Structure 1
Amino acid sequence: MPSELHPYAVLIRPIITEKSTILAGQDKYVFEVDPRANKAQIKEAVQLAFNVRVADVNTINMKGKPRRFGRRVVHRPNWKKAIVTLVPGDKIELFEGV
């Protein structure tokens, strides 16, 4: 069982890409989250931070990509992505107009 994370420590940063901007039109928002966080903790953190109602949370464990420095190959760290679906009518203003 993962240790109890503070709700503000769960969300690391929003992911702003072309695909995530399209998803925002469907009331879905993408965040990088703490790899130890579960779906219930992510839901609580988004509701607390943005004062919205969360309908669903999907999570993806992203594998770190290899990076080359000359002959040496190192890997970026693995990270976790969460796609949060809001109740229709709710919006996160942070993403609007980006």
Structure 2
Amino acid sequence: MSILIRPVISEKANSLSETKNRYTFLVNTKANKSEIKHAIEQTYGVKVVKVNTLISAPEVKTKFTKSGLQVGKSNKLKKAMVDIKEGQTIDVFGTI
């Protein structure tokens, strides 16, 4: 089971990484905080201070077609915001 899926690259995530030394990752929905901490420390070689997680609900989408109403939904996502030790950085753009 791969715990880390990819880093989140957005304006808000980049500003958090520059100002508060906090990085955001998309992770497996079944991973817990200690597994996420261990995976980031192994992958990037940094010391993790704190891990916050959030699960976003899937979006339900409907569309009307000739054959009737079509209902679908997207996958749910889990994000992890990770605070790392002062003075350390993660090169997010080099690992894409």
TM-score between both structures, scaled by the size of structure 2: 0.84
1:31 to 8, 22, 25: 25
Partner of 1:59: 53
Partner of 2:76: 78
TM-score between both structures, scaled by the size of structure 1: 0.82
| Percent identical | 34
Greater mean alpha carbon deviation, residues 82-91 or residues 69-78:
69-78
Larger radius of gyration: 2
* 1:73 shift after superposition: 2.7
Greater mean alpha carbon deviation, residues 22-31 or residues 60-69:
60-69
Listed as ranges, the gaps of 5+ residues in structure 2 are: none
* 1:93 shift after superposition: 1.3
Listed as ranges, the gaps of 5+ residues in structure 1 are: none
* 1:85 shift after superposition: 0.5
CA RMSD of aligned residues (A): 1.5
1:90 to 64, 88, 91: 88
Q: In the comparison of the two structures, how many residue pairs are matched? A: 89
